[in-house]
Amino acid sequence: MRCPSCGYAESKVVDSRPSEDGASIRRRRECLDCGRRFTTYERLGDNPLVIVKSDGSSEAYNREKLFRGVLIACAKRPISSEQVTSLIDDIEAELRNDMKNEIKSKDLGNMVLARLRKLDDVAYVRFASVYKDFQNIEEFATALEGLD
Ligand SMILES: [Zn+2]
């Protein structure tokens, strides 16, 4: 959602509520550059999932990024990439069933943890210790490169 005043691509959601007919979500956003507030209407169902980070900024859900993060936590553990794929399929199915259009990064992180715990203790602890609130996949990757 680009800012209508300055065109900046990132905004944070300051308020979010269903429209009267329930078919869309009305969001108040604040531009992270110029601070202008604007309203968007987003139809349910045809929007990608949005991840809301702990600082209030948001980004589109990226399956590839999540996959990479989980795969890194599972490095050198007896977990196949098929298992990681089905873990992510499972999370996406749950989100679809809940009809969620956005999720807090921390909640998504917890969904991963709940599933990793059943698969492998080491991968669970790695993901939990470095990726607590699903903030920054690059930092996470760098921190794990230090592990061996
Ligand atoms: Zn702006």
Contact 55, 63 (CB under 8 A): no
58 Cα: distance to centroid of ligand 1 (angstroms): 15
- Is residue 76 classed exposed, middle or buried when 0-12, 13-18 and 19+ CB atoms within 10 A define those classes? exposed
Structure confidence by residue, pLDDT tens digits, 54-102: 788 888 888 888 898 899 899 999 999 999 999 998 888 788 777 677 8
Distance from the alpha carbon of residue 3 to the mean position of ligand 1, in angstroms = 5
How do residues 23-51 score in pLDDT, each as one tens digit? 677 889 999 999 999 988 776 555 578 88
87 Cα to the center of ligand 1, angstroms: 38
pLDDT of residue 86: 92
C-alpha 58/C-alpha 138 separation (Å) is: 17
- Predicted pLDDT at 74: 93
Whether the per-residue pLDDT at 116 is higher than 70: the answer is: yes
Chain Cα centroid distance, residue 31: 20
- Rounded to the nearest angstrom, the distance between the alpha carbon of 57 and the centre of ligand 1 is 14
Distance 17 CA to ligand 1 centre (A): 22
CA of 2 to the centre of ligand 1 (A): 8
Q: Which pLDDT band holds residue 115 (cuts at 50, 70, 90)?
A: very high
* 24-31: strand order across its sheet: 11-18, 24-31, 37-43
What confidence score (pLDDT) does residue 62 get? 84
CA of 34 to the centre of ligand 1 (A): 4
Q: Determine the pLDDT at residue 144.
A: 58
Q: 10 C-alpha to center of ligand 1: Å?
A: 9
